[in-house]
Amino acid sequence: MVRLIDERPLLVYPNPTTVRWTHQVGVFAQRYLRSLSRSKLILALAIAWPVAWYLLTMEFFIPLEEQVGAIKANNAISFGLFGAFTVTVAVFAGAFAGDLESGRFRMFRSLPISPTADLTGRFLAGFAIAVLSFLVTIGAGYVHGATYSPRGILSIPVAFLTLLVFCLIAMALSMGLAVLITKPEYITTLAVVIVIMSFFLTGFNGVQPAMLSENQALVNYVPNALAARVQIFYLTDADFAHWGLTPPTMPDGAEHLGLLVGYGLVLLVTSVVVIQRVAYRRE
């Protein structure tokens, strides 16, 4: 097994061939989660950031007479994914760029460490923070009066799968960003700007397709809007036409979920290639 003490890996098995992949994943996940939990910026992005956006939107952009439970739920879900997207991109891009710049991967390459174990550990740590961000935001919405109405026993598993796949997509995008922008001090700011741009350019994550003057159907194909609309369909019983979510039709079929999963699988493979060819490539 590989353990990291003071950011330095330590092998506790005398024979490198006995280092198990699952143990490496656990150690990396603990390392990154411990690092993230000590970052006030990451915690602010995970908790205060999306909740503040939700409350400000409800206060200044939605008339009081329209603030019924369903519209609050729609916005809470949208901002929940907004927060998960923000923290995942910030976590991966910043940490990956930092490890590249510091030369830490050169140390890792000299050890029997699996690149996919490193990648999986990073993802599990980031996903844990993303889930926290999402739950806190929809919880804030519930306290604020949002009403969630799951459509059946599959609604919660579908919502979880959607969040999981969306975070995989965000991980791949952030790793690409870290390879292009190698300065960690710029990554978090740039990542947040990209998230905000994608949020507005897709009509508040697909909640308001009418914001797109043309090609409104794109909200059922762009990953962030598609994920939010799938969750809204399965977790609420809102009058979608009345609240501006349609047209286009809501993504209620297996093909829409399959498309999102397809995005995730393709970008997961891309992430594996990046960490093997960029971070762990032997010099």
Q: Please state the three-class secondary structure of 69-108 as a single string.
A: HHHHHHHHHHHHHHHHHHHHHHHHHHHHHHHHHHCHHHHH
Residue 83 pLDDT > 80: yes
pLDDT-above-90 percentage for the chain: 66
* Backbone phi and psi for residue 11, each to the nearest 5 degrees, phi listed first: -85, 125
CA distance 128 to 122: 10
Residue 16 pLDDT > 50: no
Residue 191 pLDDT > 50: yes
pLDDT attached to residue 202: 96
pLDDT tens-digit series, residues 232-274: 999 998 889 988 999 999 999 999 999 999 999 999 999 999 9
pLDDT attached to residue 17: 46
pLDDT attached to residue 11: 40
Mean pLDDT of 64-77: 91
- Do 256 and 162 contact (CB within 8 A), yes or no? no
- Do 238 and 73 contact (CB within 8 A), yes or no? yes
Confidence band for 103, pLDDT divided at 50, 70 and 90: confident
Axis-axis angle for helices 115-143, 155-180 (nearest 10): 120
pLDDT attached to residue 283: 64
Model pTM score:
0.90
Residue 2 pLDDT > 50: no
- Do 86 and 195 contact (CB within 8 A), yes or no? yes
pLDDT attached to residue 18: 54
Q: 17-21, 64-68, 86-90 — which is least confidently predicted?
A: 17-21
Q: 11-15, 25-29, 156-160, 274-278 — which is least confidently predicted?
A: 11-15
Mean pLDDT of the chain, nearest integer: 89
CA distance 149 to 134: 17
**Cβ contacts of 205-213, under 8 Å, gap ≥ 24:** 205/78, 205/79, 205/81, 205/82, 205/229, 206/78, 206/232, 206/245, 207/74, 207/75, 207/78, 207/232, 207/244, 207/245, 208/244, 208/245, 209/244, 209/245, 209/246, 209/247, 209/248, 210/244
